[in-house]
C-alpha cells in the first residue's frame, strides 16, 4: 500500500496526489574478482555503488474521472511513478496519496504464482487486488470470457506465453472494478485482436468517467484516449496540460533533442524543423510547479 496522506480538503475530487515525491535507486556496479581486489588494495576509493534519482520533486493531483497519459522518453521515470501510485513501491521523500481502490497492469503476471493454474491464479490475484471470494466467483465467467485463453485456464501459468499471461492478468485487473485504473506499456505484448479489445475497454472506461492513468509510447493512442498529459524528463515533471499539447511538447523535445544534455546547440536548419517555435513554447503553460518560481515551457527548454 502506498503511504497514505491526508488529501487536501481544498478539492475533494482528487483521488491521486503526489506531493514533492523523490525516489532514488542504488546502482551497484558489478566488478570482476580482479577489479574487486584492486579496489580493496587501493583503499576502496571509488564507491562500489552510486545513487540514481529516478524521481525528483514530482507533484501532481489527479481528480476523479480524469484520463491521464504519462509520457516521456525511456528511463524518464514513468513506470516508477505508476508503481508509486499503485503502492508496490514507496517514495523516499514526499508523499503519495490514493483514495479508493487502485488496480491495473504494471508488470505482466505480477501477483501470479507460476506453479498454480490460471484458475487458481485468478482467485489469488483477485484476492491480492482486494476482491472477496464471492466477488471473484461472480466475475469468474466474465474474466474467462475476456481473457479468452480456452483450456489453458487449467494449466500452470509457467507454461503460458507472455501474451496469455497478459490476457489473464489484464482480465482480472479490469474485473476488480477499481476506482483508479493504471495501465503500463505492457499492452504491447498482446496480439492485435486482444490489443483492440483492451483499447475498446479502456475507451469505454474513459467514457464512463473512470479514472485512468496510462503509460505509453504510443502517442497517437494516448492522444485519442486521454484528456490530460503529463510529460516526464529525467525524473522531473516538465509538462502537465491537455494531452494533445503534451504530445506536441514531447514530439518537439524529440525533434530538437533538447532532452539530451550532451547535444550541441541546434543549427538554424534543425530549428526550422521543430514543431514548436520559441514563441509557441512560451505560450504553453506548465501547470505543475517543480519548485522555485512559476515556470513556462520556454524557460524549461
Ligand X SMILES: Nc1ncnc2c1ncn2[C@@H]1O[C@H](COP(=O)(O)OP(=O)(O)OP(=O)(O)O)[C@@H](O)[C@H]1O
Contacts to ligand X by CB under 6 A? 25, 27, 52, 54, 72, 74-80
Least gap, CB of 122 to ligand X (angstroms): 27
Least gap, CB of 73 to ligand X (angstroms): 7
| Four-point Cα dihedral 293, 297, 298, 300, nearest 10 | 70
Pick between residue 74 and residue 267 the one whose CB is nearest to ligand X. Answer: 74
CA dist., res. 10 & res. 190, Å (int): 41
3-state percent helix, strand, coil for the chain, nearest multiple of 5 = 40, 25, 35
CA distances from 31 to 25, 41, 43, 51, 169 (A): 19, 14, 16, 17, 37
Least gap, CB of 81 to ligand X (angstroms): 7
Pick between residue 38 and residue 48 the one whose CB is nearest to ligand X. Answer: 48
The neighbour count for residue 299, using CB atoms within 10 Å, is: 12
Least gap, CB of 28 to ligand X (angstroms): 9
Pick between residue 77 and residue 178 the one whose CB is nearest to ligand X. Answer: 77
Least gap, CB of 152 to ligand X (angstroms): 28
Nearest to 223 by CA among 257, 184, 250: 250
Q: Which helix (H) or strand (E) holds 201?
A: helix 192-207
Pick between residue 72 and residue 118 the one whose CB is nearest to ligand X. Answer: 72
Pick between residue 190 and residue 235 the one whose CB is nearest to ligand X. Answer: 235
Amino acid at each position: 500500500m502506498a503511504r497514505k496522506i491526508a488529501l487536501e480538503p481544498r478539492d475533494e475530487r482528487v483521488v491521486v496526489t503526489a506531493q514533492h515525491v523523490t525516489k532514488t535507486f542504488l546502482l551497484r556496479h558489478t566488478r570482476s574478482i580482479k577489479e574487486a581486489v584492486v579496489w580493496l588494495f587501493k583503499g576502496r576509493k571509488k564507491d562500489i555503488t552510486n545513487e540514481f534519482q529516478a524521481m525528483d520533486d514530482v507533484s501532481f493531483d489527479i481528480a476523479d474521472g480524469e484520463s491521464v497519459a504519462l509520457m516521456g522518453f525511456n528511463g524518464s521515470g514513468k513506470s516508477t511513478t505508476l508503481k508509486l501510485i499503485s503502492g508496490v513501491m514507496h517514495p523516499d521523500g514526499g508523499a503519495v496519496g490514493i483514495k479508493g481502490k487502485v488496480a491495473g497492469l504494471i508488470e505482466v503476471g505480477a501477483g501470479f504464482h507460476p506453479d498454480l493454474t490460471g484458475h487458481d491464479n485468478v482467485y489469488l490475484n483477485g484476492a491480492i487486488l482486494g476482491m472477496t471470494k464471492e466477488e471473484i466467483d461472480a466475475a469468474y465467467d466474465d474474466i474467462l470470457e475476456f481473457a479468452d485463453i480456452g483450456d489453458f485456464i487449467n494449466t500452470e501459468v509457467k507454461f503460458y506465453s507472455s501474451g496469455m499471461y497478459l490476457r489473464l492478468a489484464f482480465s482480472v485487473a479490469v474485473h476488480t472494478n477499481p476506482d483508479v485504473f493504471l495501465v503500463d506499456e505492457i499492452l504491447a505484448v498482446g496480439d492485435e485482436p486482444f490489443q483492440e479489445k483492451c483499447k475498446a475497454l479502456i475507451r469505454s472506461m474513459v467514457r464512463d468517467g473512470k479514472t485512468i492513468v496510462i503509460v505509453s509510447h504510443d502517442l497517437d493512442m494516448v492522444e485519442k484516449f486521454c484528456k490530460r498529459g503529463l510529460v516526464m524528463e529525467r525524473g522531473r515533471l516538465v509538462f502537465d496540460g491537455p494531452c494533445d499539447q503534451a504530445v506536441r511538447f514531447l514530439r518537439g523535445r524529440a525533434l530538437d533533442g533538447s532532452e539530451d544534455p550532451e547535444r550541441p546547440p541546434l543549427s538554424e536548419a534543425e530549428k526550422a524543423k521543430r514543431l514548436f517555435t520559441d514563441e509557441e513554447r512560451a505560450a504553453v503553460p506548465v501547470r505543475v510547479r517543480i519548485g522555485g518560481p512559476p515556470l513556462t515551457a520556454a524557460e524549461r527548454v
